[in-house]
Structure formats: structure tokens, C-alpha cells
């Protein structure tokens, strides 16, 4: 089979003796070599060609293998250089974690939070003309012209001298001419009638096509009028929603300037959310703020030791044609990890103080948590490994661009083990205060509620039942639940404290022993309570069910709605069986009235 690299031009020559000789001009396109081969026998010439091309192909293959090997060597060397640069950049990124934050303006501008985008959809009326062009426009066919009138035909008889002598011949010719004219006239009339009918059909077809066109035109215009109305409505809704959201930003800014607790927390969350860390780091935290003291508590999830990169360099070994990686030692890894944790701690404190231009923050308490596997038990644990309380006045005198992170942390009286990489758990300096004067003693009623219709239960007993139920639910993770003073005022019936620093926090619980559907107003009240209490979540429990508007309102909010079925399921989960009979409860309540 001829190779794409082979080029052959064959011809026949004749010698002086008039003998035939076969000639082939051959070229190898890869090597750029050229030869002219001749022979008197064509088959022998072909053998010569095959042999010559095989020699050239072998040489070409050696050169190509050498070239590919050299290319692979260059490519592998480039890969090694690229991976080494990536490794160096990864360590550089960790090294610059603290100084990176010092060069950026981290103050949140509330006007930047506003939405100033224009409505993205175009007015559909813009495309009306294109839609109209797609409707076939009627085109009237040209009329068919009538034939010339018979008077223009030559129907006079052709008389000669004999016709004057013989009257009968003349008369006969005149009759023939008349008959010819009559036939021609009749034929003309028929053609005129036919043409008239055809022209009438042309008018009829054009009229029908015009009506269809106008009908389709009206439909298209009506459709685009309807689309434009929807577009206008959506556009108005878009700008109204944008306006309301921007007004909320204005309101939030005013609340922030007045040092409103929730507004300060929201602002601080924005600051920390805008802080850029390596993408493989966890970015999770929880904040708690006290307006009176100006203290903010930061529960921060730190990266685990396993996330620290270890690749130091990649080299290409030419003799073995392989890439060889070299890694930092475990001791070096531990040192980098400790340095990173100290830098994250100082950076977080810096970002919060630096962005605080209304002096809402007097002190910051930073608790750093790490999830890891306990080597002794093999179970996942969540340990606080660093804790520090820093006053703003003290921190402002520190030049973070010049400090040693560990020495600075220790000088600020931060708490942590000598080797943070050991992930030794410490007691945080300050934790969320769970004290509340509204909390009262509680009693268990679940056992007494066995088989009882919960919808007929005394309302205070029902609240204690809910407290007992959720205490069992939250105690699994070390949480606790406290019940508030009985007031029947629609406030907080119980408060749960989940110790998980990220997913937990303060959770308010309301119990509604209802026999009717719970409306959206009760859910709104719960949401307001969650905001006022500074809670992370709200739970509403009822013996009945909720209306669709209640479920709609709770969507995308930190609210959980539990109906009667959910309540019975939770009770059974914790070893208690009760029942809910709304019809029976209504009858009992009716008899008591």
C-alpha cells in the first residue's frame, strides 16, 4: 500500500537502440530525499522501488521515534515544571493568608448591595414585524386578457371575376364566410365566458387569501399585545421587587448605623463571607452579638490537618522517563498547619474590627473548631482548638504585616495547645449564654399522655409534653431544652440549645394545641419571634394541620412546621404512643361550652 509520504512519477523512455526502458522518479516527502530509478523490466523496477522506499521508511521511523521521544521528554519536563509551580503557589497562598487581607478594603458599602440591574427581558413587540413577515402575504394573480374581437378577423369572402358572372358561386362563398365568422364569434364568446370565470376565481381566491391574512394578522397582533401586557406586568413586578429589596437595604443600613443587633450580625456575616480563602478550605461560621456589651462571638470552622497540601516539587527523571514527586515532611506539615490556624484567627479578628466603622464591636471572641477523627475511638469529633478574646483598643495597636502570628496570638492571651496540629480540644473562653429569666421548671407528661387524645390535653400540659419530646430529640447531640413561663400569649413556649457551632444554636419552639387549621398569621408570629430572639431557627408544633398559605410563607425561611402526624411520629420514635382525634376534641370542647 502506497504511503502518503511516497511520491512517484513513472514514464517510459527509449534508448538509441529503440529499446524500452521504464523510469520512476521517486521522492520521500518526510525525508525530502529524491531518486530516479530505471530498468528494462517493469517488475524489477517495482522491486527496486519497494526496496528503496523500505530503506527510507525505516530511516523515517527512527527519526520520528527520536523526535517523539524528545517531544515527550519536553512535555513531561513541562508537566513537572507546571506541577512544581502549582505546588509552590499553594504554599505561597497559605503563607499569604494573613497579609492578603491587609491590602484589600473590606468595608461593606450598603449601596453596593442594592440591585440596580435593568429588566433583562425585551419587549416582545420588538419581534412583531418578524412574526408578521412569516405570515404569507396574498399576491393577486394577473387577470387573463380576452382574445381580440371577431371584427378584427378577416371573414370577407375572397371573390373573383367568375363570382361576378356566376351569382351562385358568389352566394356560396358569402355563406361560407358568414358561417366562418359565426363559428369564430361563438368560439370567441365561449373563451370570453371562460376567461371571465377564471378572472372571477382569481378575485375570489385573492379575497379569501386576504381574509385569511387579515385573520392571521389579527391573531398575531393580539398574541403580541397579550405578551406585551404580561411583559409590562412582569417588568413592573421586577422593579417593584427590586425597589422593595433596595428599601430593605436602606432600612438595614439605618438599623446598622443605630447598632441594631441583627443588622450588625448581618453586616459581619457579609464581611466574613467576602473573605477569600483557598477553595478547598471550609467556609463556615456562626456569629452571636450582644449590643449592650459590644461583644461578638465567632464560632469558626477551621481546615483540618488533612487539607494542608504536601506536594513540594515534581521532577522529570530522563533516564527512567517518569515523573517523581517530593513531599514535605510531617513535621513541616504540622508547622504550616499551626501557622495557618494562627493567621486565620488573626485575619478574622482584623477583618471584623477593620470593617467596623460605627464602633459596634468592642471585643471579639474567636473560637476555632475542627472536625477530625479521634484516633482512640475512630469516631468523628468536633473540637475547639483555639480560643481568644481581643479588645478593639488593644488590637488597633498591632501591625499585622510585621508580627509573628503565633507570638501575637499568645501575646493576646489566646488559648490553644503548643501544637495545634495535635487537635487537642480546649474549653472556649466564652460560650453562648443560655440563661433566660423566663425559663421555669418543667415536668414530664409523656407517660401520662399514653393513649390520650392530644387535642383535648390541658394546654400547659401540652407545652410540657412538647418540651419533653424535643429534649429527648436534642439530647442525642448533647443539646437541652428549657420551657418558658406559661402565659398563653403566643410567645416562646420552649427554647432549645443545640451545641453544634455551625448547624445548631438557639431554636425557639411554639406549641399550638389546635383543633382548627393553623393559618399563616401564627407562622408569621413565629418568624417574628425568631428574629426578635436572635434565634437560628423556629419550630411550630400543632395537633391539627397548616393551611397552604402557612406552608408557602415558611418556604425558604428558617422555620419547621410539624403537624399532628409529625407529632405522633416523634412521640412513637421516643417510645410513646398517643392519638389525635380532632372530631372528638371538637365535640368535647362543644360540650364544655
Q: Is residue 102 part of a domain?
A: no
| Rounded alpha-carbon distances, angstroms, from residue 84 to 87, 89, 278, 324, 334 | 5, 9, 18, 11, 21
- Predicted local confidence at residue 178, as pLDDT: 80
- Per-residue model confidence (pLDDT) at position 235: 94
Asked if residue 456 lies in contact with residue 415, where contact means CB atoms within 8 angstroms, the answer is: no
Same-domain check for residues 243 and 295: no
Do 333 and 375 belong to one domain?
A: yes
What would the DSSP string read from start to end of 39-86?
A: ESSHHHHHHHHHHHHHHHHHHHHHHHHHHHHHHHHHHHHHHHHHHHHH
Domain presence at residue 502: yes
Only one residue has cell 418558658, namely 484
Residues 178 and 209 occupy one common structural domain: yes
Q: End of a domain among 88, 123, 154?
A: 88
CA 571 to chain centre: 39
Q: Are residues 252 and 349 in the same domain?
A: no
Reported confidence tier of residue 253, pLDDT bands at 50, 70, 90:
very high
Please indicate, yes or no, whether residues 462 and 577 belong to a single structural domain of this protein: yes
Q: Span 88-115, mean pLDDT?
A: 90
What pTM did the predictor assign?
0.54
For residue 492, CA distances in Å to 164, 289, 479, 487, 517 come to 137, 20, 18, 9, 20
Q: Which domain does 223 fall in, by range? A: 112-257
What number is the average pLDDT over the span 475-495? 65
Q: How far apart are CA 517 and CA 254, in angstroms?
A: 38
Of 2-11, 72-81, 273-282, give the range with the top mean pLDDT.
273-282
pLDDT at 572: 86
pLDDT at residue number 584: 86
**Are 132 and 215 members of one domain?**
yes
CATH number of the CATH domain containing 539: 3.40.1350.10
- Average the pLDDT over 455-472 and give the result: 82
Q: Which of 77-91, 101-115, 438-452 has the lowest mean pLDDT?
A: 438-452
Are residues 299 and 408 located together in one domain of the fold? yes
Reported confidence tier of residue 144, pLDDT bands at 50, 70, 90: confident
Residue 282: pLDDT band with limits 50, 70, 90: confident
Backbone dihedral region for residue 158 (phi beyond 0: left; psi -120 to 50: alpha; all else: beta): beta
125: its cell numbers: 413587540
Residue 489, pLDDT > 50, answer: no
- Residue 73, CA distances (Å) to 62, 273, 322, 574 in order: 16, 45, 9, 67
225-249 confidence digits (pLDDT tens): 999 999 999 999 999 999 999 999 9
Query: First and final CA of the chain: distance in angstroms?
Result: 106
Do 483 and 532 lie in one domain? The reply is yes
214's torsion region: left (phi>0), alpha (psi -120 to 50) or beta? alpha
Confidence (pLDDT) at 439:
44
DSSP string covering 195-209:
HHHHHHHHHHHHHHH
- Tell me if 99 is assigned to some domain: no
Decide: 403 and 466 in contact? Cβ < 8 Å: no
Once rounded to an integer, what is the mean pLDDT over residues 473-478?
74
1 pLDDT higher than 60: no
Q: What is the pLDDT of residue 478?
A: 66
Same domain, 387 and 248: no
Average pLDDT, the chain: 84
Provide the domain count of the chain: 4
253, 176: one domain: yes
Choose between 478 and 20: higher pLDDT.
20
Backbone φ and ψ of 301, nearest 5°: -85, 115
* Of the candidates 240, 233, 290, the residue with the CA atom closest to the CA atom of residue 261: 290
pLDDT confidence of residue 360: 94
Question: Can you tell me the distance from the alpha carbon of 5 to that of 33, in angstroms, rounded to the nearest whole number?
Answer: 11
* Calculated CA dihedral for residues 543, 544, 547, 548, nearest 10 degrees: 80
For 500-516, the pLDDT digits (tens) are 656 677 888 888 888 88
Whether residues 456 and 588 share a domain: the answer is: yes
**3-class SS of residue 38:** strand
**55 assigned to some structural domain:** yes
Of 88, 122, 143, which residue is a domain's last? 88
The three cell numbers of residue 199 are: 378572472
* Whether 465 and 544 share a structural domain: yes
pLDDT attached to residue 256: 93
Confirm whether 243 is domain-assigned.
yes
Q: How confident is the model at residue 379 (pLDDT cuts 50, 70, 90)?
A: confident
Could you give the percent of the chain with pLDDT greater than 70? 88
Q: Is 12 domain-assigned?
A: yes
Residue at a domain's end among 391, 422, 453: 422
Amino acid at each position: 500500500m502506497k504511503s502518503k509520504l511516497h511520491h512517484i512519477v513513472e514514464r517510459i523512455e527509449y534508448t538509441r537502440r529503440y529499446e524500452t526502458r521504464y523510469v520512476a522518479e521517486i521522492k520521500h516527502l518526510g525525508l525530502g530525499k529524491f531518486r530516479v530509478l530505471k530498468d528494462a523490466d517493469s517488475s524489477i523496477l517495482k522491486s527496486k522501488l519497494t526496496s528503496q522506499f523500505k530503506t527510507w521508511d525505516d530511516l523515517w521511523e527512527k527519526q520520528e521515534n527520536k523526535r517523539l521521544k524528545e517531544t515527550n521528554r519536553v512535555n513531561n519536563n513541562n508537566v513537572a515544571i507546571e506541577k512544581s509551580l502549582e505546588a509552590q503557589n499553594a504554599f505561597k497562598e497559605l503563607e499569604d493568608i494573613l497579609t492578603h487581607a491587609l491590602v484589600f478594603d473590606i468595608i461593606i458599602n450598603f449601596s453596593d448591595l442594592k440591585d440596580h440591574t435593568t429588566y433583562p427581558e425585551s419587549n416582545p413587540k420588538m419581534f412583531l414585524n418578524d412574526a408578521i413577515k412569516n405570515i404569507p402575504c396574498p399576491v393577486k394573480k394577473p387577470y387573463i386578457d380576452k382574445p381580440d374581437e371577431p371584427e378584427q378577423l378577416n371573414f370577407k369572402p375572397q371573390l373573383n371575376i367568375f363570382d361576378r358572372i356566376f351569382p351562385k358561386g358568389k352566394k356560396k362563398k358569402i355563406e361560407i364566410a358568414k358561417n366562418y365568422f359565426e363559428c369564430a364569434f361563438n368560439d370567441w364568446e365561449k373563451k370570453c365566458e371562460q376567461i371571465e370565470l377564471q378572472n372571477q376565481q382569481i378575485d375570489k381566491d385573492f379575497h379569501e387569501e386576504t381574509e385569511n391574512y387579515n385573520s392571521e394578522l389579527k391573531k398575531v397582533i393580539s398574541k403580541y399585545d397579550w405578551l406585551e401586557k404580561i411583559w409590562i406586568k412582569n417588568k413592573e413586578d421586577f422593579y417593584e421587587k427590586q425597589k422593595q429589596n433596595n428599601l430593605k437595604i436602606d432600612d438595614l443600613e439605618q438599623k446598622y448605623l443605630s447598632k441594631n443587633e441583627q443588622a450588625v450580625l448581618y453586616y459581619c456575616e457579609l464581611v466574613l463571607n467576602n473573605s477569600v480563602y483557598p477553595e478547598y478550605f471550609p467556609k463556615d461560621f456562626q456569629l452571636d452579638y450582644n449590643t449592650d456589651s459590644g461583644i461578638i462571638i465567632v464560632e469558626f470552622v477551621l481546615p483540618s490537618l488533612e487539607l494542608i497540601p504536601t506536594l513540594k516539587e515534581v521532577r522529570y527523571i530522563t533516564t527512567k522517563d517518569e515523573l517523581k514527586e517530593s513531599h514535605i515532611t510531617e513535621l513541616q506539615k504540622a508547622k504550616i498547619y499551626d501557622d495557618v490556624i494562627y493567621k486565620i484567627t488573626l485575619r478574622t479578628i482584623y477583618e471584623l474590627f477593620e470593617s467596623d466603622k460605627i464602633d459596634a464591636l468592642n471585643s471579639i471572641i474567636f473560637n476555632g473548631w475542627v472536625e477530625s477523627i479521634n484516633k482512640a475511638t475512630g469516631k468523628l469529633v468536633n473540637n475547639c482548638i483555639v480560643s481568644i478574646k481581643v479588645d478593639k483598643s488593644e488590637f488597633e495597636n498591632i501591625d499585622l504585616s510585621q508580627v509573628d502570628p503565633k507570638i501575637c496570638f499568645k501575646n493576646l492571651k489566646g488559648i490553644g495547645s503548643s501544637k495545634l496540629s495535635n487537635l487537642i480540644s480546649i474549653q472556649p473562653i466564652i460560650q453562648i449564654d443560655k440563661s433566660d429569666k423566663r425559663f421555669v421548671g418543667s415536668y414530664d407528661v409523656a407517660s401520662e399522655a399514653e393513649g390520650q387524645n392530644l387535642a383535648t390535653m390541658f394546654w400547659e400540659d401540652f407545652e410540657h409534653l412538647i418540651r419533653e419530646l424535643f429534649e429527648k430529640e436534642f439530647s442525642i447531640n448533647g443539646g437541652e431544652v428549657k420551657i418558658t413561663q406559661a402565659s398563653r400569649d403566643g410567645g416562646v413556649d420552649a427554647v432549645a440549645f443545640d451545641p453544634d457551632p455551625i448547624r445548631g444554636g438557639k431554636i425557639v419552639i411554639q406549641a399550638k394545641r389546635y383543633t382548627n387549621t393553623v393559618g399563616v398569621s401564627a407562622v408569621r408570629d413565629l418568624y417574628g419571634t425568631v428574629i426578635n430572639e436572635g434565634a437560628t431557627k423556629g419550630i411550630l408544633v400543632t395537633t391539627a394541620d397548616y393551611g397552604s398559605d402557612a406552608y408557602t410563607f415558611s418556604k425558604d425561611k428558617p422555620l419547621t412546621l410539624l403537624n399532628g402526624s409529625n407529632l405522633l411520629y416523634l412521640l412513637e420514635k421516643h417510645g410513646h404512643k398517643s392519638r389525635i382525634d380532632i372530631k372528638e376534641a371538637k365535640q368535647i370542647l362543644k360540650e364544655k361550652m
